[in-house]
Amino acid sequence: MFHRILPALIYFTLMEFKLRQTLGKMIFKIKVVQDTKKLEFWQVFLRNIPKSLFFVNYTIWIFLIDILYYSFTKKRLFDKIAKTDVEKI
């Protein structure tokens, strides 16, 4: 299980913490921003939990809840919890 989660969590978290972007975000010219001050590591880690859990079959419901929340609010649930957002550059 962790051999699937850990690489995804490391990739998303480190790329977004250091560069505020993953390769996909670079292509779409968007970046992760923090609502009030400097982006903290814990915020990036927290917002990427559902993405990394997508790679584990029986925890996909967390990812689906995040998508469902987004469909109603136009903001990911874990972005709201981590107080982050994504914006165009």
Q: Which residue has the higher pLDDT, 75 or 4?
A: 75
Q: How many domains does the chain have?
A: 1
Q: Which residue range is the domain that position 55 belongs to? A: 2-88
pLDDT tens-digit map of 27-82: 999 999 987 778 899 999 999 888 887 777 667 788 788 889 999 999 989 899 99
Q: Which two tokens stand for residue 29?
A: 């010219």
pLDDT at residue 41, as a whole number: 94
What is residue 54's predicted lDDT score, i.e. its pLDDT? 73
Given a contact cutoff of 8 angstroms between Cβ atoms, the answer to whether 17 and 39 are in contact is yes
Distance (Å) of CA 56 to CA 12, 37, 59, 86: 16, 33, 6, 25
